[in-house]
Structure 1
Amino acid sequence: MRYLIWALRLLVFVAVLMFALKNTDPVTVRFYADHLVAEVPLIVVMLATFVVGGIFGLLLTVPAGLRRRRELAKVRRELERLREAEASRAGRESTTAQPSPDEVAPLSPI
């Protein structure tokens, strides 16, 4: 399985490398307010766009991750509180309640 994953990675790398080598033509990038960057290789523009998109995508997932982390901490605190309550209740019951004689030695026919 590991070799298959590495073969797929190598295949993707080669495909991206061939794409990059074929898209080296210089382009002019225009921003708002007539700000432009001239003679930039197309692959650099595409790579920068990909990186910026990846960063924005990660930033969009941060709030959901923080929300899940907060909820997980809340559930863990509740679980710990319930375990402590159960332990204290079990401790109280074992020290205060004495078993009946039938529980200790049940009656049986002789």
Structure 2
Amino acid sequence: MRYLYTLLSIVLFFAVLGFTVKNAEPVTLHYYLGLAWSAPLVLVVLVSFGIGIACGIMACLGIVVRQRRAFSALRHELSTLNPDSGATSAPR
């Protein structure tokens, strides 16, 4: 499994390297009020990909925090209902 992971990493690296070499020409992004940004195409694509990842993580953060709070509340409730659960073993 480790060899497969290494092989896939190498293939991904060369795919990204080829993408970078083929898309090095500059592009210009035009914003409102006459603002413009000129950068290589690969940089624009990678920045937009990074922004998308950051937005996805922030969208999931609320759900994760809510689940952790509910889990903590359930754990606290369980410990108050059965305070000596760790001290004794269940009968067989």
TM-score (norm 2): 0.85
Question: Which structure has greater helix proportion?
Answer: 1
Correspondence 1:1-110 to 2 at 5 A = 1-38=1-38, 40-84=39-83
Q: Which ranges of 4 or more aligned residues in structure 1 deviate by more than 6 Å?
A: none
Shift in Å, 1:82: 1.3
Q: Give the secondary-structure state (helix, strand or coil) at the position aligned to 2:82.
A: helix
Between structure 1 and structure 2, the one with the greater Rg is: 1
TM-score (norm 1): 0.72
Q: Which runs of 5+ in 1 are unaligned?
A: 87-110
User: How far apart in 1 are the matches of 2:54 and 2:77?
Assistant: 35
Q: Give the secondary-structure state (helix, strand or coil) at the position aligned to 1:14.
A: helix
Identity %: 35
Q: Which runs of 5+ in 2 are unaligned?
A: 86-92
Aligned length, in residue pairs = 85
Shift in Å, 1:32: 2.1
Q: Which has the higher contact order (CA 8 A, sep 6+)?
A: 2
User: How far apart in 2 are the matches of 1:83 and 1:33?
Assistant: 65
